[in-house]
Amino acid sequence: MSKKIYLYGNWKMNNTYSETEKFFVDFAPAYAPFKDADDLEVGIFAPFTSLWPLSQGAKKCGIVFGAQNVYYEPKGAFTGEISIPMLKEYDVTHIILGHSERRHIFLESDEVIAKKTKAVLDAGIIPVLCYGETLEERESGNTFTVMERQLRSAIDGLTDAEKAKIIYAYEPVWAIGTGKTATPDQAEEVCAWSRKLIGQPKAVILYGGSVKGSNAKELLSMADIDGALVGGASLKPASFLEIYTAYKA
Ligand code: 13P
């Protein structure tokens, strides 16, 4: 069997409740031919307000689903935040943590992301832990220093079993939503380096940043890239699933 591909869609701040319902009207028949593929795992991550229709659609299709953020405290005076117990009632299986938009726009620190990672693991949910360098950091030769800090702060102190449970997503900030993709060699270099740093040979490591049908095959064929975390192309069932068909072609 060929390697298993993880195709995860991060909708970011897109798709209202009703738009999510509509998405699944189109997604269900489009996904049907792939439903039994044992080398594909599809996941979708929606805004909190769309989690109910996402959960209904995802359960019917048999894909995994989750949220894009969460707070680490279980309850209390944290105006505007959403807790893990709140998400558990929606049966989410995965939660994206540390996305570069959370780090850079909402100023989430490594420390906060580490607390979230531990709390999510403790709740039996899989963190999809994002990390990656900015263009400035890459150009000044600091790519690996920055990523080592981001990764180590989140995983040092976790058990091997916990480290192995996390899904890692390398997303160079300069390739997100810009149409600029890391070259397969650039992405592979970081994913291979990450696998060593994590110390778990079988860890699942995704690449994210302008992944689409036209670049999927070369990226997903790399030895240390287990799948894609897809933003823009995940908003339409056709462009999302095309990433898998292009890889298989
Ligand atoms: P794009 O695929 O739109 O570049 O977004 C990538 C991303 O940030 C996924 O989390």
Buried b vs exposed e over 89-127: b needs ≥16 C-beta within 10 Å?
A: ebebbbbbbbbbbbbeeeebebebbbbbbbbbbebebbb
User: Over 90: is that where the pLDDT of 181 sits?
Assistant: no
Ligand 1 within 6 A of CB of 232 = yes
User: Over 90: is that where the pLDDT of 180 sits?
Assistant: no
Length of the chain: 249
d(CA 90, CA 96): 15
Question: In this predicted model, what pLDDT tens digit does every residue of 68-117 receive, in sequence order?
Answer: 999 999 999 999 999 999 999 999 999 999 999 999 999 999 999 999 99
Pocket test for ligand 1, best of 7, 11, 12, 167 (most atoms within 8 A of CB): 12
Please identify which residue in the block is written with the tokens 């462009």. Answer: 239
Ligand 1 mean position to 193 CA, how many Å? 21
The answer to pTM > 0.85 is yes
Ligand 1 mean position to 225 CA, how many Å? 16
Question: In this predicted model, what pLDDT tens digit does every residue of 6-30 receive, in sequence order?
Answer: 999 999 999 999 999 999 999 999 9
d(CA 91, CA 240): 23
Q: Once rounded to an integer, what is the mean pLDDT over residues 191-212?
A: 97
Ligand 1 within 6 A of CB of 10 = yes
CA 75 to chain centre: 25
At 1 the pLDDT is: 56
Question: Which residue's alpha carbon is at the smallest distance from atom 5 of ligand 1?
Answer: 231
Which 3 state secondary structure label does DSSP give 11? coil
Ligand 1 mean position to 75 CA, how many Å? 30
Report domain extents, the chain: 5-248
- The pLDDT mean for the chain works out to 97
Ligand 1 mean position to 79 CA, how many Å? 28
Q: Once rounded to an integer, what is the mean pLDDT over residues 156-180?
A: 94
At 2 the pLDDT is: 80
Q: Tell which atom from ligand 1 comes closest to the C-alpha of 101.
A: 8
**Cα–Cα distance list, 51 to 17, 45, 64, 84, 182 (Å):** 8, 8, 12, 13, 31
Question: In this predicted model, what pLDDT tens digit does every residue of 229-242 receive, in sequence order?
Answer: 999 999 999 999 99
Question: Which residue's alpha carbon is at the smallest distance from atom 2 of ligand 1?
Answer: 231
Question: Which residue's alpha carbon is at the smallest distance from atom 7 of ligand 1?
Answer: 231
At 177 the pLDDT is: 85
Question: In this predicted model, what pLDDT tens digit does every residue of 123-155 receive, in sequence order?
Answer: 999 999 999 999 999 999 999 999 999 999 999
- Asked if the 5-248 domain carries CATH number 3.30.2320.80, the reply is no
Q: Which residues belong to the active site?
A: 99, 171
Ligand 1 within 6 A of CB of 228 = no
